[in-house]
Amino acid sequence: MGIDAGSGGKVEDLHFFYEQVKQVHGRGLWQTEGTAKKAATLPYLWKFEDFRPLLFKATEMVPIELAERRVLVMANPGITSDWQASSTMLANLQIILPGEVARSHRHSASALRLVIEGTGAYTAVNGEKSYMEPGDFVTTPNWTWHDHGNEGDSAMIWLDGLDVPLIQATETNFYEVYEAEQYPIVTPDDMSIRLFGGGALKPSWVKHNQYFSPLLNYKFTKTYETLKAMSEHTDGSPHDGISVEYANPMTGGPALATIACFASLLAPGLRTKAHRHTGGTIYHVIKGKGRSIIQGKVFHWSEKDTFVVPSWHWHEHQAESESVLFSYSDSPVITPLGLYYEEALKEDNGHQKIEGTFEALPVPERGGGVQQRRTHSK
């Protein structure tokens, strides 16, 4: 800004002035720019093959009773907090062994599960159990009691998505442990699927005025069948292929108050066109193999990998084999505030110039953590 040099007063006067301002917990606005950088969400990819052995290792090292949830976070190296995948969301991997129970608690943060491996475990929400299978999308809406238990005979692994950084940023974090290990079962298993999973048929006697979907488990078999049926006669979205939102059947809105969730089918060889929009998005590969190009860099992915596209980053996808991408985004937070912007790439028929390939970053010696005001020009 050049104020130090260019101001009317001498530099020593200026520094004396700054010190005076500091004493009253003030600051020159001009001092806050460019002097320190806040790290920001980086486009990043975590390989499942890296995490899988560590998850099993964790089952040996970390008793579930001590950890409450046996979870490894995928930390975005661009963010100093060391545990967020994006500016507002977490992407974690949870493992639960046969016979284990992850005890009941509730929080104002919203959570979702996308099942990766195993069968026989359930999620129970407010006393309704749903057994989970690979590809299932399971909701645990904010402030609902939930626990998990594995009644099968193999380990079960899933992706946990949460909005905790947003909850922290707004200082609205509430958390409570249930008085017993498990909330009592008060509803028949999968009752919500019976009531709300039947297509565009809404039980007329059920009042549900909450901010989230009443449907607890969107079964993958149905999702996949729906995507395939659509794909016979349409190419879907130019940017996302055949893409469905897991909707709240009572409103058509997002499944969770703060998180919109999607499944996208990409035909083998399909290359979508690039666009960018505000709102960070985390992708998880349910099925298939391919690559995404994010801000000019190629990210190769295969089944069970997880990657993040930060807000306002160009991105496009290309499937090598038939692929299904699960994704979740904080768009429900920013859209009602007028902060959702979107832009399609016009150049080169909608395709970015490729400028490199993603490589995992080395782990830095900690200490940095500078702040930056990120400024886009819309």
Residues 315-354, interacting with a second copy (CB under 8 A):
330, 332-334, 336-339, 341, 343
Report the residue from 102, 138, 159, 247 that binds a second copy according to the rule CB under 8 A: 247
| 291 in Cβ contact with 298 (< 8 Å) | yes
Question: With binding defined as CB under 8 A, does residue 140 bind a second copy?
Answer: no
Question: With binding defined as CB under 8 A, does residue 372 bind a second copy?
Answer: yes
Question: With binding defined as CB under 8 A, does residue 74 bind a second copy?
Answer: yes
Report the residue from 147, 310, 317, 319 that binds a second copy according to the rule CB under 8 A: 310
* Euclidean distance between CA atoms 89 and 94, whole angstroms: 16
Report the residue from 71, 121, 138, 308 that binds a second copy according to the rule CB under 8 A: 71
- Residue 257: CB minimum distance to a second copy, A: 5
Question: With binding defined as CB under 8 A, does residue 138 bind a second copy?
Answer: no
Question: With binding defined as CB under 8 A, does residue 265 bind a second copy?
Answer: no
Candidates 97-105, 115-123, 151-159, 167-175; binding stretch for a second copy (CB under 8 A): 167-175
| 249 in Cβ contact with 213 (< 8 Å) | yes
Question: With binding defined as CB under 8 A, does residue 376 bind a second copy?
Answer: yes
Question: With binding defined as CB under 8 A, does residue 33 bind a second copy?
Answer: yes
Footprint (CB under 8 A) of a second copy, residues 45-64 = 46-47, 50-51, 54, 57-58, 60-63
Report the residue from 121, 250, 265, 309 that binds a second copy according to the rule CB under 8 A: 250
Nearby residues of 265 by Cβ (< 8 Å), 6 or more positions away? 224, 227, 228, 230, 231, 236, 241, 242, 243, 322, 323, 324
Question: With binding defined as CB under 8 A, does residue 95 bind a second copy?
Answer: no
Question: With binding defined as CB under 8 A, does residue 22 bind a second copy?
Answer: yes
237: DSSP letter: B
Distance of CA 326 to the CA centre of its chain: 10
Question: With binding defined as CB under 8 A, does residue 139 bind a second copy?
Answer: no
Select 336 or 356, whichever has its Cβ closest to a second copy: 336
Nearby residues of 158 by Cβ (< 8 Å), 6 or more positions away? 93, 94, 113, 114, 115, 116, 117, 132, 138
Nearby residues of 57 by Cβ (< 8 Å), 6 or more positions away? none
* Euclidean distance between CA atoms 185 and 267, whole angstroms: 41
- Residue 158: CB minimum distance to a second copy, A: 14
Q: Specify burial of residue 106 (Cβ count, 10 A radius: 0-12, 13-18, 19+).
A: buried
Footprint (CB under 8 A) of a second copy, residues 194-213 = 194-205, 210-213
Q: Which two tokens stand for residue 374?
A: 């990120």
- Residue 282: CB minimum distance to a second copy, A: 13
Which phi and psi angles does 45 have, rounded to 5°?
-135, 135
Report the residue from 56, 82, 153, 354 that binds a second copy according to the rule CB under 8 A: 82
273: DSSP letter: P
* Euclidean distance between CA atoms 50 and 187, whole angstroms: 39
- Residue 9: CB minimum distance to a second copy, A: 5
Report the residue from 8, 12, 207, 353 that binds a second copy according to the rule CB under 8 A: 8
* Euclidean distance between CA atoms 311 and 280, whole angstroms: 4
Select 125 or 195, whichever has its Cβ closest to a second copy: 195
Question: With binding defined as CB under 8 A, does residue 301 bind a second copy?
Answer: no
CA distances from residue 20 to 9, 27, 30, 32, 212 in whole angstroms, order as listed: 15, 9, 16, 16, 50
Question: With binding defined as CB under 8 A, does residue 268 bind a second copy?
Answer: no
Question: With binding defined as CB under 8 A, does residue 178 bind a second copy?
Answer: no
Which phi and psi angles does 99 have, rounded to 5°?
90, -15
- Cα angle for residues 243, 244, 246 (degrees, 5° grid): 150
Question: With binding defined as CB under 8 A, does residue 218 bind a second copy?
Answer: yes
Select 47 or 297, whichever has its Cβ closest to a second copy: 47
- Cα angle for residues 40, 45, 46 (degrees, 5° grid): 115
- Residue 164: CB minimum distance to a second copy, A: 8
Report the residue from 12, 66, 207, 353 that binds a second copy according to the rule CB under 8 A: 66
